[in-house]
Amino acid sequence: MGDGPVVMFFPEGAYGPTNNCVGIGQVLRERGARVVFVVEESFAGTLEKRGFEEALMRLTPPPEEPEVPGQFWKDFIRETAPEFRKPTVEQLSTFLRPTWQAIVDGARHVEPRLREIVDDLRPDVIVEDNVQAFPAIVASGRPWVRIVSCNPLEVRDPGIPPVFSGYPAGDRAGWAEFRDEFRRTHGDLWGEFDAFVRDAGAPPLPELEFIHESPWLNLYLYPEEADYGRSRTLAQTWHRLDSCVREPEAPFELPDRLAGDVDRDGDGDGDGALIYFSLGSLGSADVDLMDRLIAILAETPHRYVVSKGPQAELVELADNMWGEELVPQPAILPRVDLVITHGGNNTVTEAFHNGKPMVVLPLFWDQYDNAQRVDELGYGVRVAPYTCSAEELTGAIDGLLADSDLRRGMKMIGEEIRSRDGRTKAADLLEQLARTGEPVTA
């Protein structure tokens, strides 16, 4: 590895944050850095296959019985999918509060192991892409970086909508009520976690926030064209990455069953537009929802590349579709005309990176915020996944495909975002921090 810095990445145990960090790690590794990923045991081997070192940990105690692959997703969807049909303000108590409880419990459980890893690696820089604080990182005395790879509403401001609400930026109706309900449902949990963080040697948390701002360097992932206008200027240690797309592991060859000419004007002359459809690893585990949407899409003249997810063997595709459990999204998106997504920040920013309009079907967390932002700025359409009619979904698809001005505009946006090269910018900033040990300011 040479004399390059040791960079420790600690992403949330999900594909979106992990893949964002991989994009940055690829650049650093090519420059001679030693790049180590701290990952959950369930991810063991995933990063090694991409050429990185791994340090394993758990956020929960080991199960008494052997874990059945994919069983977590089946259980989670069975228990929580009904919550996704509720208004976001109601989800604060029934979905968000239990989810945050599990998140902070994970931080408590992993604290001793995380301290061991930091002491063993002695990294020059620690990069954390999570939503909760880990005192082992904050109190280590080593420069650490916070990455926000969720919607930037996570970095709160009174002039922008409350995170997780899915409320419009141009209408403040409901903002105060949502924030009051968040305080009511999460205030005691935050207080308990803040006490744990302080007892473990880290500074107090900001009020009602579960993670610190880094004094060294903070990065957030969102295109400038879709970002929010804030009432308060962020600290100079904050830097925006317009995108952070990893290099594809292999080229993507369009399957023969999807080859053909695209029906740009929808008059039946051609083989339909080529569309990418993904509900993410969690949303696609809801087989009933996948079946419902696939049945609607099967009746359209278009062709679909489908990310089938962890229950792939139960997801039956129509004749105008091809898909697998995991598909190479960075290699696919440049090829398609439109993206149908659950609104995860990773897929949304990658769609912008490639200049693709979106139909957004939000399920939970910040997906409502991304769906609303894409819709209100005219870059796509927000559609309710569980309750939309066939006409609503197909109308959104056909309307976006027929909008030639939007397609041209998105193409230009994609070219501009790619020219900014977010992952190289991130690598430059991390190298500067590793070299100087001083805050990296704009």
Q: What is the pLDDT of residues 300-312, one digit of tens each?
A: 999 999 999 887 8
Q: What is the pLDDT of residues 230-270, one digit of tens each?
A: 999 999 999 999 998 888 777 788 888 787 654 444 444 44
Share of the chain above pLDDT 90, in %: 74
With CA atoms as reference, report the closest residue to 104 among 226, 237, 197: 197
Q: What is the mean pLDDT of residues 53-71?
A: 77
Q: Are 347 and 291 in contact (CB under 8 A)?
A: no
pLDDT at site 238 = 98
pLDDT at site 271 = 63
Which two three-digit tokens encode residue 299? 């009746």
Helix (H, G, I), strand (E, B) or coil at 200: coil
pLDDT-derived band at 2, boundaries 50, 70, 90: low
pLDDT at site 244 = 87
pLDDT at site 267 = 42
Q: What is the pLDDT of residues 106-150, one digit of tens each?
A: 999 999 999 999 999 999 999 999 999 999 999 999 999 999 999
Q: What is the mean pLDDT of residues 339-364?
A: 95
pLDDT at site 71 = 58
Q: What is the mean pLDDT of residues 395-409?
A: 95
Residue 422 vs residue 264, higher pLDDT: 422
> How do beta strands 217-221 and 144-148 pair?
parallel
CATH class of 256-419: alpha beta
Q: What is the pLDDT of residues 28-43, one digit of tens each?
A: 999 999 999 999 887 7
Q: What is the pLDDT of residues 68-94, one digit of tens each?
A: 555 565 677 677 878 888 999 999 999
Residue 423 vs residue 71, higher pLDDT: 423
Q: What is the mean pLDDT of residues 319-348?
A: 92
pLDDT at site 283 = 83
What contacts 335, CB < 8 A, 6 or more positions away? 252, 254, 274
Q: What is the mean pLDDT of residues 374-383?
A: 97
Which two three-digit tokens encode residue 222? 């969102």
CATH topology for the 6-245+420-436 domain = Rossmann fold (3.40.50)
Sheet of 238-241: strand order equals 53-57, 34-40, 6-11, 125-129, 144-148, 217-221, 238-241
pLDDT at site 186 = 98
Q: What is the pLDDT of residues 42-56, one digit of tens each?
A: 778 888 988 899 999
SS3 labels along 85-125: HCCHHHHHHHHHHHHHHHHHHHHHHHHHHHHHHHHHHCCCE
Residues of the chain with CATH 3.40.50.2000: 6-245+420-436, 256-419
Q: What is the pLDDT of residues 153-201, one digit of tens each?
A: 999 999 999 999 999 999 999 999 999 999 999 999 999 999 999 999 9
Average pLDDT in the chain: 91
Tell me the C-alpha to C-alpha distance, in Å, between residue 355 and each of 16, 249, 254, 262, 270: 19, 21, 19, 18, 23
